[in-house]
């Protein structure tokens, strides 16, 4: 059986006060876990709690020793006017360009503000996906992606990734159903 990367029990998380949880699951290498639930259930908050981005009020998160985590956050800063190329962006996170879709691979030498919104979002997503990490956390990865980007992401996630564990929060039920090996429901906060 594959190594357990993450064991979460009774996780309750929030900011000034608890807003999400409790949540419990176990994630093994090679698994893609979907966190599903209604709007406002706190799925993104719980995802952030997995790497320490928000306050944990209760429960326990047990990580495999030396676990390397990559987190793709929802939303991003406006990069118009910043003279940065796609190659430079990928270099920042250590992501590889191998496996990029052809409609983006040929444009890595261009400034980011020359790309379409969908291309830029995909590139930012790729900079978090194609990195040497054991655990990848994706928060609404299909937001702002165009149709080609969503299709390529689903295809990429659908291929076996035996070396990594992935947790996805998405309102896109089609993506969750297509790529996740398991889905955990997050209840609405009481």
Partner 1 sequence: MNFDLLLDPLFRVPFLTGLLLAALLPLIGMYLRLRHEWLAALAFAQMASAGALLAMVAGWPMILGGVLAALVAALAKGLMARAGAGAYALMMLLAWGGGVLLVANHPLAEQAGHALFDGQLYFTGDGHLLAAGVACAVVVPLLAWLSRPLLLGRLFPEFYRARGLDARPRLMLFDLITGLSVALATVSLGVMAAFALVFVPPLVAYRFARSWRAGMVLSAVIGMLGYSVSFAVSLGLDQPFGPVCAVVLVMLAASTGRDSYRM
Q: Residues 2-41 vs partner 1: string with x where CB under 8 A? A: ----------------------------------------
Q: Evaluate whether 169 touches 183 at the Cβ level (below 8 Å).
A: no
Rounded CA-CA distance 12/42 in Å is 10
**Stretch binding partner 1 (CB under 8 A), from 11-19, 28-36, 45-53, 180-188:** 45-53
From the list 4-12, 28-36, 83-91, 174-182, the region that binds partner 1 by CB under 8 A is 83-91
- Is position 71 an interface residue for partner 1 (rule: CB under 8 A)? yes
Q: Does 81 bind partner 1 (CB under 8 A)?
A: yes
Tokens 């993506």 — which residue?
175
Element (H, E) at 177: helix 173-179
In angstroms, the CA 139 to CA 125 distance is 10
Helix axis angle, 147-158 to 117-129, nearest 10°: 20
Region from 6-14, 38-46, 70-78, 161-169 binding partner 1, contact rule CB under 8 A: 70-78
The pair of structure tokens assigned to 131 is 């990195």
Give residues 127-146 in contact with partner 1 (rule: CB under 8 A): 127-128, 137
Cβ-in-10-Å burial (0-12, 13-18, 19+) of 22 comes to middle
**What does residue 166 show for φ and ψ, rounded to 5 degrees?**
-130, 135
Which one, of 22, 45, 47, lies nearest residue 34 by Cα? Answer: 47
Interface segment toward partner 1; rule CB under 8 A; list 6-14, 79-87, 150-158, 176-184: 79-87
Among 30, 53, 59, 189, binds partner 1 (CB under 8 A): 53
Least Cβ distance, residue 68 to partner 1 (angstroms): 7
Cβ proximity to partner 1, 77 vs 98, nearer residue = 77
Binding site for partner 1 (CB under 8 A): 51-53, 68-71, 73, 76-77, 79, 81-85, 87-89, 92-93, 111, 114, 124, 127-128, 137
């Amino acid at each position: 059986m594959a190594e357990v990367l993450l064991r979460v029990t009774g996780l309750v998380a929030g900011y000034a006060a608890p807003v999400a949880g409790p949540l419990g699951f176990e994630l093994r290498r090679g698994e893609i876990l979907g966190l599903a639930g209604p709007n406002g259930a706190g799925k993104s908050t719980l995802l952030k709690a997995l790497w320490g981005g928000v306050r944990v009020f209760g429960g326990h998160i047990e990580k495999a020793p030396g676990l390397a985590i990559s987190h793709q956050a929802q939303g991003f800063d406006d990069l118009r006017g910043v003279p940065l190329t796609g190659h430079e962006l990928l270099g920042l996170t250590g992501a590889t360009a191998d496996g990029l879709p052809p409609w983006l691979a040929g444009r890595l030498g261009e400034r980011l503000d020359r790309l379409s919104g969908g291309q830029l979002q995909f590139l930012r997503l790729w900079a978090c996906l194609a990195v040497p990490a054991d655990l990848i956390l994706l928060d609404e990865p299909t937001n702002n992606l165009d149709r080609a980007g969503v299709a390529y992401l689903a295809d990429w996630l659908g291929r076996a990734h035996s070396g990594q564990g992935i947790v996805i929060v998405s309102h896109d039920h089609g993506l969750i159903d297509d790529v996740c090996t398991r889905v955990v429901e997050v209840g609405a906060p009481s």
